């Protein structure tokens, strides 16, 4: 079989066929992966909740509270955990656009008295080897058990209490800002829940 000639008709038809076929293929795969994708995203949140909150026996994802804030692009999510009907912790998402490569999104778990239980990173695109070290234990452990009402959520360079990551002050600042936003929201809502 020889090569198709470069007639106008041939060109239009071949491009049309290719785009239609790929369009349908993409639509089909998109339909196929929609449910598993949503499930995977939810699973990630549930896993993060399990880490940042004390042991709980309700389903915090079910009664999530979304709050709009001018500091954050998408809404702040607040999850409340109960064990034996007692409020044991609140997880708040905080994010900052001031990371080295944009968005840094965290999930911060607070005890009812405001102490930080633990922090999980939901999203970050920082420089590998520098800013990405924020996911490492060495950086995260300085936040645990601290109460932001007395613990200044700023890097030491800016007069705060946080040891910034070497060579990644910008990433550390974004991290601190995210925690601060989450804490502010926590303070606002702690009494209403």
Partner 1 sequence: MVSKINQKENFIKGIVKENPTFVLLLGMCPTLGVTTSAFNGFGMGVATLFVLVMSNIVVSLVKNQIPSKVRIPAFIIIIATFVTVVEMVLEAFVPFLYEQLGIFIPLIVVNCIILGRAEAFASKNDVFSSIIDAFGMGLGFVIALTILGATRELLGNGSVFDFKLTSENANTFIIFILPPGAFIALAYLTVIFNKLTSKITG
Residues forming contacts to partner 1 in the complex (CB under 8 A) are 1-7, 10-11, 14-15, 18-19, 22, 25-26, 29-30, 32-34, 36-37, 40, 43-44, 125, 127-130, 138, 167
Of the chain, the end-to-end C-alpha distance in Å amounts to 73
Nearer to partner 1, 22 or 147 (CB): 22
The conformation of residue 69, written as its DSSP 8-state character, comes to -
Strand partners, 94: 106
Nearer to partner 1, 11 or 61 (CB): 11
The dihedral over CA atoms of 23, 24, 25, 29, expressed in degrees to the nearest 10, equals 110
Sign of the dihedral through C-alpha 170, 174, 180, 183 = negative
Q: By C-alpha distance, which of 106, 116, 137 is closest to 54? A: 116
Nearer to partner 1, 34 or 187 (CB): 34
Q: How far is the CB of 128 from partner 1 (least distance, A)?
A: 4
Nearer to partner 1, 128 or 159 (CB): 128
Q: How far is the CB of 64 from partner 1 (least distance, A)?
A: 20
Alpha-carbon distance of 61 to 45, in angstroms, equals 8
Contact residues for 3 (Cβ-Cβ < 8 A; gap 6+): none
Q: By C-alpha distance, which of 17, 6, 179, 155 is closest to 106? A: 179
Nearer to partner 1, 14 or 59 (CB): 14
Q: How far is the CB of 138 from partner 1 (least distance, A)?
A: 8
Q: How far is the CB of 176 from partner 1 (least distance, A)?
A: 21
Q: How far is the CB of 140 from partner 1 (least distance, A)?
A: 15
């Amino acid at each position: 079989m020889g090569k198709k000639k470069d007639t106008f008709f041939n060109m239009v038809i071949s491009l049309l066929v290719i785009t239609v076929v790929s369009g349908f293929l993409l639509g089909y795969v998109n339909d196929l992966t929609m449910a598993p994708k949503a499930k995977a995203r939810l699973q990630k949140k549930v896993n993060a909740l399990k880490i940042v909150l004390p042991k709980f026996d309700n389903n915090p994802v079910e009664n999530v509270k979304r709050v709009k804030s001018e500091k954050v692009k998408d809404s702040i999510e607040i999850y409340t955990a109960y064990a034996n009907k007692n409020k044991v912790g609140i997880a708040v998402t905080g994010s900052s656009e001031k990371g080295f490569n944009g968005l840094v999104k965290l999930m911060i778990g607070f005890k009812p008295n405001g102490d930080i239980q633990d922090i999980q990173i939901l999203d970050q695109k920082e420089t590998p080897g520098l800013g990405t070290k924020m996911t490492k234990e060495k950086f995260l452990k300085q936040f645990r058990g601290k109460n932001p009402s007395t613990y200044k959520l700023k890097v030491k360079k800016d007069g705060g209490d946080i040891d910034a990551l070497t060579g990644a002050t910008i990433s550390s600042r974004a991290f601190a800002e995210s925690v601060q936003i989450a804490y502010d929201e926590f303070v606002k809502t702690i009494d209403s829940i």
